[in-house]
Amino acid sequence: MRKKMTIIGAGNVGATAAHWAASRGIADVVLLDVVEGVPQGKALDLSQAGPVDGFSVSLTGSNDFADSAGSDVVIITAGLARKPGMSRDDLLAKNVAIVKSCAEQAAKHSPEAVLIVVTNPIDAMVYTAFKVSGFPKNRVIGMAGVLDSARYRTFLAQALGVAPRDVNALVMGIHGDNMLPLVRLANVAGVPVSALLSEEELAAIVKRTQHGGAEIVNHLKTGSAFYTPGLAAVEMAEAVLADSKRVLPCAAYLEGEFGFSGCFLGVPVVIGASGVERILEFPLTDEEKAAMAESEVAVRKQMAATGL
């Protein structure tokens, strides 16, 4: 029997995630949304790409959470998107109610699922889903680091004129301006980027990574990124569904790791069938510790604003 995945929210991110998931053939997909006709139409359209792309998974569009029952993975993308001039924090008050409802329904209909939260501000929304669902910490994960690291790797590859897949780089901390793109660990097939780029070039790339989402929002004017966020969520889901033990940077609940407890922060984790199987902890420099502490302060403020 094929695995089952539900994507809540049939907007740009959700529909794109469904596209990536179907194309990879990782699971049968239920696309859920409160707007009648939208998930049905997008699922039908996407299913008709099967003969062309070669996938054979089932795609169902629905407005009824009952259709999501028994999902192995539930991806929550529902919520408002950023517009120019808005910060991720500006979305918090409205999106917390949406994510709360989604998490409640996911827990009711798929009590053994792994929840992957994409809705912004991610670090606060994954905390909301964790509190509301009652799921253990390993089965609630925030999508952030995969996206931020992909942006970081892309900018480094462009500066170096190399294939992006050969760039290894890690972004930790909050999904926001205080995120921490680690320079000392970034490399190209094992060669440190610090040996290939100047400090000024690296500093510019770090800054661009930290504001990568806003750069896209400013271009689009009426929405935010969706191609890479959708794929990043699917990469995490695939690691769960295939029990592949992928090492991915994700927003995970910390209990002493890296010196932090009781909050979700982006850290490298091993993802398998049970979700976060372990956190890969390693020594940070004093500068990196300070940056992570700034992330924690920002996340704590968001957590307090949820009222949970």
Known catalytic residues are: 175
Residue 140: phi and psi, rounded to 5, are -130, 115
DSSP annotation of 90 reads G
| Calpha distance 201→218 (Å, rounded) | 23
- Rounded to the nearest 5 degrees, what angle is found at the Cα of 17, between the Cα atoms of 173 and 302? 30
CA proximity to 12, closest of 68, 79, 72: 79
| Calpha distance 255→262 (Å, rounded) | 6
Distances (CA, A) of 269 to 36, 139, 257: 37, 12, 11
Per DSSP bridges, beta strands 191-192 and 187-188 are: antiparallel
On the CB side of 148, CA atoms within 13 Å amount to 34
Q: How many CB atoms lie within 10 A of CB 48?
A: 10
Instruction: Tell me the angle at which helices 12-24 and 227-241 cross, rounded to the nearest 10 degrees.
Output: 50
CA proximity to 62, closest of 97, 37, 94, 79: 37
Q: Which residues contact 82 (CB under 8 A, 6 or more apart)?
A: 88, 90, 91, 120, 213, 214, 217, 223, 224
